[in-house]
Copies of this chain bind each other. A is one copy, B any other.
Amino acid sequence: MSHNTFGHLFRVTTFGESHGPAIGCIVDGCPPNIPLTATEIQVYLDKRRPGQSRFTTQRQEPDQVKILSGVFEDERTPGQVTTGTPIMMLIENVDQRSKDYGDIRDTFRPGHADFTYQAKYGVRDYKGGGRSSARETAARVAAGAVARKIIPGVTIRGALVQMGPHRIDRTNWDWEEVHRNPFFTPDARAAKFYEDYLDGVRKAGSSCGAVIEVTASGVPAGWGAPLYAKLDQELAAAMMSINAVKGVEIGAGFAAAAFSGEENADEIRMRRGKPEFTSNHAGGILGGISTGQDVVVRFAVKPTSSILSTRKTITSAGEDADVMTKGRHDPCVGIRAVPVGEAMMAIVLADQFLRHRGQVG
């Protein structure tokens, strides 16, 4: 977990800027002999791809992934498989709009990383946000697609459960619905509402936040570890590393603080010869280790900072200024965070699985 690498045995190192020639990643530590094609990975990239509805940025990026290493097809045993060596995945940037960046070259956009990158490095690639752009998350999605193949018994699904201040009605939850609306929300009625709501936000040149929930079913009891490799800790790190995320919670999360001890601790009963919990406030994790229940994580995405209103700021020369961010932006960047959150869940679980197998066998 150092700067641009995430994970321990299953390690993802990403590179690339928004307006450079390409982005991508190297996945190291993948087990060998796993069937893997670019087509499979593309499925997830397509889910995250911009420009698919009027509710995401209109930047047109095909996001076609190429696998440059780490796979092999032996002509005698058809089908490309992983070899256990680093898997390099490359995604070319296509639609870097040629424009004048003069506005933001010298002026820090409030809520962006412009100010902090400049403060840290004394230089920054101001084109399209450079390295701090959400475009980097495409590499995560590609890596996540590989991670899923390592833990085939686990089903990972994400959903948008709040847009702006508007939460879904959880009693309407339908996983199938997630694929039917452009918001990845499991509540069909909320989807309807969000359509109007987000049109309003978009037309006002404003933006809104969101809360995303990602669930992993089929995780056996025993993954994770004390104390600084806790499954929940690594999920928190994973989600908080996504652009614009400001909060993470596991299971009942912040609500657990208001529970009594009696309400909070999930009771256990034997059912058909197996332990079964009567509730899942723990979000599938106790002491940093999976319980066998669904692993549940939620994270809050702040509203996109790129808005059409004029905002007070300063220039790199240290003078007060006003700034307005033109260009193509997601009115609710939280939507496309759904496949990204799924990918990070997959990466954490794949890594924890391999480490568990390493230590315990």
Tell me whether A289 and B246 are in contact in the complex, defined as CB-CB below 8 angstroms, given that A233-B241, A264-B209, A303-B260 are known contacts.
Answer: no
**A5 to B267 alpha-carbon distance, docked (Å):** 32
Residue contact A32 to B122, C-beta cutoff 8 Å: yes
> What are 6 inter-chain pairs, A to B, with CB distance below 8 A?
A15-B87, A26-B26, A131-B226, A136-B227, A256-B300, A275-B314
**Chain B residue with the shortest CB-CB distance to A357:** B358
User: How many chain A residues touch the partner (CB < 8 A)?
Assistant: 155
- Report chain B residues within 8 Å CB of A291: 115-116, 119
Inter-chain contact B290/A116, CB cutoff 8 Å: yes
Residues of B within 8 A of A309 (CB): 261-262
Given pairs A2-B29, A13-B13, 16 additional interface contacts (CB within 8 A): A21-B69, A22-B68, A26-B26, A31-B361, A109-B265, A117-B287, A236-B240, A246-B252, A246-B256, A247-B254, A247-B257, A257-B300, A260-B303, A262-B307, A265-B305, A270-B320
What residues of chain B lie closer than 8 Å to A265, measured between beta carbons? 109-112, 303, 305, 307, 311
CB < 8 Å neighbour of A121 from B16, B33, B119: B33
Contacts of A131 in B (CB 8 A): 69, 83, 85-86, 226-227
Once the chains bind, are A113 and B288 in contact (CB under 8 Å)?
yes
Q: Is the CB of B268 within 8 A of A116?
A: no
Which one, B17, B206, B302, contacts A256 given CB within 8 A?
B302
Interface centre among A225, A265, A289 (most CB of B within 10 A): A265
